[in-house]
Amino acid sequence: MKKVSILGSTGSIGTQTLDIIRRNGENFSVCALTAGSNTSLLEEQAREFKPEIVAVASEDAANDLKVRLADTAIRVLSGEEGLCEAAAIEEADITLGAIVGIAGLKPVLSAIDAGKDIALANKETLVTAGDIVMARAKEKNVKILPVDSEHSAIFQCLEGRGELKKIYLTASGGPFFGKKRAELENVTAKDALKHPTWSMGAKITIDSASLANKGLEVIEATHLFGVTADKIQVVVHRQSIVHSMVEFVDGAIIAQLGSADMRTPISVALNYPVRSEISGDSLDIFGTGNLTFEKPDTDTFRMLELAFSASKMGGTMPTVLNGANEEAVSAFLNGKCRFLDIADMVEGAMENHKIKENPSLSDIFCADSEAREFVKVKFKL
Ligand code: NDP
């Protein structure tokens, strides 16, 4: 039986992970659960899965949770320290990283330091500190198993198959596919939250609408698969059936297909190296219709090119791209800026930044704060 610590258990990935565990009780048990502030759902999850520890981001949330769980023996922790302790809990065999944003970085590093294999959904961890995370994972001999559907697909396509020439990273195109800049002037957060194929948390859904998500995934892939960004071609594939493809040096292209259900990549990571049955409908291969592949419109969706540039520049630049994007997306979700401002804010923060090569963890957090501050001041947020 694998014991799992789940970081971000109240989110979209977290709840789907618990759904897999609920249906495979004989294979998994839960030893830790964490959330930001959703104490009512965390209480419900804790009563059902009976972890040893639960952790939340703030002291206030922890005080509320302590009252809610007073009749149980579950330990309630708080803050960065509490999240890191939950991530590295001794009992865990594997830690699933599904906190959103750079807030997930330190807990994932704690789990690596404690020798836990990582099922990684939190792409911002690799975007901001990929070199440090991958080096530490190598040093501690822990596996980083991708949960992002595209990276899971690439991982599955690559397994033991030889030298790769190119990665085709697929993108649904999001809710604004086919629109030009002028048509995006006045779109609202409500419009951007209507993703055509995937049901996900708010931040990644906005990132999908701006193609920032694909940009972050390009950077994530460079770290996971040890390639430079110029070996990655983003392909718009509206049907979200091919989850990515790999071309090998002999010209063969291997693709991974499936329905748009995150439970498959989560299950691949949790069960690795074996596969386990998932209930639900499998892909109706005759019902898929035509599969289409197109080049992305980078004039309209500028975040993609900005991410390629940040990846090439390296050092602290991907952290700046990520920090400015997190701040801008939060502003957009709160109605404080327009959709098209997101890329302008990120570009401004990148132009303003002096890159630090081979950054330490503290350089990374400095670059993140600088980018967020730049966005707040420049755009009067
Ligand atoms: P959600 O917003 O649905 O969930 C985020 C989780 O993180 C929640 O449990 C939330 O707690 C917790 N959280 C938020 N802020 C903090 C904080 N400061 N400290 C501690 N915990 C915090 O996000 P998703 O599940 O959609 O995404 C999670 C990660 O997985 C992201 O990095 C995303 O890019 C990646 N991913 C997601 C996919 C998806 O299908 N959803 C697909 C591929 C990757 P609370 O509920 O209390 O706010």
| pLDDT exceeds cutoff 80 at 280 | no
pLDDT in tens, 6-29: 999 999 999 999 999 999 989 999
pLDDT at residue 164, rounded to an integer: 93
Average pLDDT (201-208) is 96
Ligand 1 within 6 A of CB of 100: yes
- Is pLDDT above 90 for 88? yes
The model's pTM: 0.97
H or E element that contains 35: strand 28-35
Rounded CA separation 345/337 (Å): 10
Q: What is the DSSP string of 173-229?
A: --TTTT--GGGGTT--HHHHT--SS----HHHHHHHHHTHHHHHHHHHHHHHHT--G
For residue 259, what pLDDT band results from cuts at 50, 70 and 90?
Answer: very high
Share of the chain above pLDDT 70, in %: 100
Residues 6+ apart with CB under 8 A from 91: 3, 31, 52
Residue that has been written with the tokens 């897999």 in this structure? 20
What pLDDT digit, counting tens, does each position of 322-332 carry? 999 999 999 99
Structure tokens at 51: 């972890």
Categorize the per-residue pLDDT at 247 as very low, low, confident or very high, splitting at 50, 70 and 90. Answer: very high
Task: Assign 336 to helix, strand or coil.
Answer: coil
Distance CA 213, CA 101 (A): 12
pLDDT surpassing 90 at residue 257:
yes
CA separation, residue 49 to residues 18, 23, 340 (Å): 9, 12, 42
Is the CB of 10 within 6 Å of ligand 1?
A: yes
Mean pLDDT estimate for the chain: 96
| pLDDT at residue 281 greater than cutoff 80 | no
- Residue 381: pLDDT above 90? no
Atom 14 of ligand 1, residue of closest alpha carbon? 36
Q: Which tokens is 306 given?
A: 């900005």
Residues 89-111: pLDDT tens digits?
A: 999 999 999 999 999 999 999 99
Q: Measured in angstroms, how far is the CA atom of residue 101 from the centroid of ligand 1?
A: 7
pLDDT score for 48: 98
- In this structure, the residue with its CA closest to atom 13 of ligand 1 is 36
Q: Is the CB of 8 under 6 A from ligand 1?
A: yes
Average pLDDT of the residues in 233-254? 97
pLDDT category, 315, cuts 50, 70, 90? very high
Cα 104 to ligand 1 centroid, rounded to whole Å: 9
Place of tokens 């503290």: 362
User: pLDDT band at 199, cuts 50/70/90?
Assistant: confident
